[in-house]
Structure 1
């Protein structure tokens, strides 16, 4: 109540105390209205006033003429757990995100989120972080804890244990349940099993976030995989969020409009469905996930390696390589062959045999050039598709997704305008996932802000040099503290864990 009163007074230019920071003369993109040139005042961790010309005192004034002032961006699919939860204080500031203006990220995606969500969220109290974060509990983690890496249906008792783990995680503040049904051993789960676990999120007001079972033509096909996700949402009562939406590979190129039609038909019937997307034409995964058939991945790595000599496995690997566009389209981004395509590793020989040799030593990350520009644009322009990074090792999307989306699709190609870019990168994820008082510039909102130069804001990371921070960000505030100034980290670690409050009456008091 006090914050609301102060904000109202400040909006009238009658703040009883000075602002800590006054950002003067920037192009303000609030996330809710047309851009305008004006000022933003911050006191403590909140925005206290916004307007064309504020008449108020401030401890410090920053001139923002020529800069865009936007709410801090929110990444709904990030894979930065090891940075945020690790022992390295500098790594926990997550420079790669701050230098793009990302102030909040979701972790635990693709079914890999830790079961002990309470510990994940408590970590920020003893290991300060540079950005805010919310956490999913992983379906894969839950299944692995109960069934290991086996390819079988759980018994009723095992299913009950899995549901109990999901329920506890939701009561401890999980955003929802994430899945990665393309990956073994999660891919062994039937739709009904996944829905039963997702229902523990649904009944507590949480989300079902999914890497689809198939983004191409590996198993059930892209459109059937979308239908499965929608069916899980209906059965579980959870809102559905489709991770890194795409049409992957030659077999499904051009199918974006059909996927969009299915999702929008569900939305028209009242189902809650959203998606995120990274603005790159190459996906990122591992060599095993890209090429080795699912059945061959059962029971762990040793069993998989033994199966790679099977003629049937080799035949399916050849077909998977075709789906992926051939050996020239697979770029290894980690390990001893980093920077080489599979064709270069094969050196004129059999690329599948070369892949098997590599896999016998390790499972490197790969970037796979497999998406058409037409499909990328089709998804990007839908009002329910938000910006995400899927920030994985060795891929430039980790260091440049938000910056690239602005530079390429706003400034260069005019696919989106500036307000839409900001809304899809901040306001839409905040509103979708219930991040109260974030994702917009308004009195009373948390002071998560980014100031960037609209002429230079761009990704510098490339496929050959993927770990270069973005250009053009001048200042970033996280919960009112300056985390980036003059294009450099200040050392501030003002991020917070953001537990989701479960629906009333659904958890022990």
Structure 2
């Protein structure tokens, strides 16, 4: 090729890139070539239309997205036949312990990377530690305040993560497990903890109002704490008070969440939206109508959803009345031993078991070794007792996790189709959603059932999520964005984990890049830990001057 033809070809390539809003060397300056090119895949940039082309990375940023990246990369990955997309964002996870682990292998969070998840939210369900510096693995600089005062993380992580400050942790620190309202002094202390966490980079306030002792918090208390988060630019994220018919009902709980958002003046995010149990199955259209009515009135409301018909929770939360959990486990054990108290408690456990679909619908995913992997019905038969006594026998030894089969596919599909519902896992040990939620959503609801199409799935798992939560530079494949990029085989991407084998890695994820570091190559982990804490910048002027 002559020099003139070479220049002409280069100019044509540059013209295509600029026309598409892309760039190779910002400002026209000559820069070094890319470190990595993912070449020849079908690129889904996020919300934009797919095309066949390349993604180039230098350092931790994307430097080219287009039909043909210039040559000269240090490393080229052939993505022919693959789907190339932004790394997935999981808005509701329980990987807090993994990220805090002293074991580097645990902090890689391989169950997420093998599904293409590169960013996760923790501190959900009211469990976010007010000490954000500890959560992010950072040390505060002497005399500093706010996000800028947080030092470099002292730990390596496989995925990026943001964290909420949680009502449960805040309430426990100030009030404990008691079933009572906060005093004025206690409320002031809780507000101070929330304010400090927000100024240190918390995403917002999370609540788990279904769970004791958070269930003891009345609405005005939650509004007061959510208001502090809202003043500093945060979000209200809620495992709502009732997803079924335990107390105020599903509709009542959605109304409460919307009211809290309006009164506290901040966006509302409904965690793992669902209609749980026989009493409320079929209510998805009514819940959708409530939320979309609020949106039309100007309120910011959105939700996430995991693609499983079985929820995951604790056996106590599923079956025991909240009053029985006042004072924590030691108080509960005394109630189990008291005949009069059990006479009051037993009918309520029977009713909760009914609304969950009966003992055959509860599969123990953790707990005593003799109970794991069995339904409550099977445990009762083995021990020759009724299901209530079987549940109490388990709980007397230790708390147990359950997979609770309680949702209808019609409700799942109805929520999944809404533009304001994004993908999550609600990852918990013993439930296959930890290892397989994004893979299952693709395999079951995109390929098999065709509830949504591939472009929608990718947007719900990346770009839409990033926009909802203001994650700058995440969720899209575009020049200047952080290089969180994945490539998966559309024929083989899918789950291996199921309810009886919940800890099997998914298949078909060929490449995962986190902030420019290749974490999965040819389907195998590399050991690279490219993830970072993602502290949220508080609203300007809302935190003390540094």
Verify same fold: TM over 0.5: yes
CA shift for structure 1 position 477: 0.2
Match of 1:21 in 2: 36
Note the 1:122-141 alignment, pairs <5 A. Answer: 122-123=137-138, 125-141=153-169
Note the 1:112-127 alignment, pairs <5 A. Answer: 112-123=127-138, 125-127=153-155
Is the contact made by 2:240 and 2:254 (CA closer than 8 Å) also made in structure 1? yes
Is the contact made by 1:13 and 1:56 (CA closer than 8 Å) also made in structure 2? no
Which shifted more, 462-471 or 49-58? 49-58
Match of 2:12 in 1: none
Which shifted more, 348-357 or 224-233? 348-357
TM-score computed with the length of structure 2 as normaliser: 0.91
Note the 1:326-475 alignment, pairs <5 A. Answer: 326-335=358-367, 336=369, 337-347=371-381, 349-475=385-511
Is the contact made by 1:130 and 1:494 (CA closer than 8 Å) also made in structure 2? yes
Q: Distance in 1 between matches of 2:218 and 2:462?
A: 34
Higher Rg of the two aligned structures: 2
Q: Secondary structure, in 3 states, of the residue corresponding to 2:236?
A: strand
Match of 1:491 in 2: 527
Answering whether residue 111 of structure 2 is matched by residue 96 of structure 1, we say: yes
Answering whether residue 195 of structure 2 is matched by residue 172 of structure 1, we say: no
Aligned counterpart in structure 2 of residue 294 of structure 1, from 305, 313, 322: 322
Aligned counterpart in structure 2 of residue 30 of structure 1, from 45, 48, 51: 45
CA shift for structure 1 position 470: 0.6
CA shift for structure 1 position 488: 1.2
Note the 1:193-342 alignment, pairs <5 A. Answer: 193-308=221-336, 309=339, 310-335=342-367, 336=369, 337-342=371-376
CA shift for structure 1 position 120: 1.1
Q: Secondary structure, in 3 states, of the residue corresponding to 2:520?
A: strand
Q: Secondary structure, in 3 states, of the residue corresponding to 1:126?
A: coil
CA shift for structure 1 position 10: 4.2
TM-score computed with the length of structure 1 as normaliser: 0.97
- Could you list the per-position Cα deviations for residues 283-326 of structure 1 after superposition, in whole angstroms to 9, with x for gaps in the alignment? 00011000000011001111112223421111100000000000
Q: Distance in 2 between matches of 1:355 and 1:195?
A: 35
Note the 1:66-105 alignment, pairs <5 A. Answer: 66-105=81-120
Aligned counterpart in structure 2 of residue 43 of structure 1, from 53, 58, 61: 58
- Could you list the per-position Cα deviations for residues 167-193 of structure 1 after superposition, in whole angstroms to 9, with x for gaps in the alignment? 000001000010000000000110010
Q: Distance in 1 between matches of 2:259 and 2:408?
A: 27
Unaligned runs of 5+ in 1: none
Is the contact made by 1:331 and 1:340 (CA closer than 8 Å) also made in structure 2? yes
- Could you list the per-position Cα deviations for residues 186-244 of structure 1 after superposition, in whole angstroms to 9, with x for gaps in the alignment? 00110010010011110111011100100000000000000000001011112111100
Q: Secondary structure, in 3 states, of the residue corresponding to 1:368?
A: strand
Is the contact made by 1:76 and 1:106 (CA closer than 8 Å) also made in structure 2? yes
Q: Secondary structure, in 3 states, of the residue corresponding to 1:225?
A: helix
Note the 1:140-179 alignment, pairs <5 A. Answer: 140-179=168-207
In angstroms, what is the RMSD of aligned CA positions? 1.6
Which shifted more, 302-311 or 358-367? 302-311
Unaligned runs of 5+ in 2: 1-16, 139-151
Residues 60 and 207 from structure 1, CA distance in 2 versus in 1: closer, same or farther, beyond 3 angstroms? same
